[in-house]
Amino acid sequence: MKKEDKSAIIKQLESTIQSYAHFYLADIGGLNAEETSSLRRTCYKQDVKLMVVKNTLLKKALENSGADFSELYVTLKGETSLMLSNNGNAPAKLIKEFSKNSKSKKPLLKAAYVEESFYIGENHLETLISIKSKNELIGEIIGLLQSPAKNVVSALQSGGTTIHGVLKTLSER
């Protein structure tokens, strides 16, 4: 591969990585053609971008991105595919579900960069599945904050009709 081609691929990888909030490194080696196309279809349906990348080119793209991804470099061995998503736990759920039904028990999680944190190794898959996005957490907090206010308004409204009923009865007498 020519040097110009490599630099073009590296620039494309950089821009792709920067356009997504989260990414996973997975091993999909050993999947047959049918399983691979099924995985690609599943990724497409769940808004996860799947790319098979060369480790050296991915490492260069990560180095050039401006952020410190050095913790991930140890996982760039063997076959690596990049799963990009704006939803932090979608690729983790996809990996778990797909590997459960796959004959080769792949894809395997190598590493992940989710919510500005690094997760290295297959043992973090369950943790990644349970991670909530910032929007989900904000929604929960808003729901918790609204609950007491709704109770107060509800009590005032029901109390207002009771007081109104008592006053009306007294005025009629």
- Is the confidence at residue 130, as pLDDT, over 90? no
Do residue 17 and residue 95 come from a single domain? yes
- Is the confidence at residue 116, as pLDDT, over 90? no
pLDDT of residue 50: 92
In the chain, the number of structural domains is 2
Do residue 96 and residue 127 come from a single domain? yes
Do residue 146 and residue 109 come from a single domain? no
Do residue 32 and residue 77 come from a single domain? yes
**What CATH number corresponds to the domain at position 124?**
3.30.70.1730
Contact 76, 59 (CB under 8 A): yes
pLDDT of residue 84: 93
Q: In b/e form, how buried is each residue of 4-36, taking b as 16+ CB within 10 angstroms?
A: eeeeebbeebbebbeebbbbbbbbbeebeeebb
Do residue 36 and residue 118 come from a single domain? yes
Could you tell me the residue range of the domain that residue 158 belongs to?
133-173
Mean pLDDT of 141-168: 71
Do residue 166 and residue 115 come from a single domain? no
Do residue 92 and residue 21 come from a single domain? yes
Do residue 122 and residue 168 come from a single domain? no
Give per-residue pLDDT as tens, 64-104: 888 888 888 999 998 889 999 988 888 998 988 888 887 77
Sign, CA torsion 68/96/42/29:
positive
Give per-residue pLDDT as tens, 3-48: 888 888 889 998 898 899 899 999 988 888 888 899 999 999 989 9
pLDDT of residue 31: 85
- Is the confidence at residue 63, as pLDDT, over 60? yes
Do residue 95 and residue 173 come from a single domain? no
- Is the confidence at residue 165, as pLDDT, over 80? no
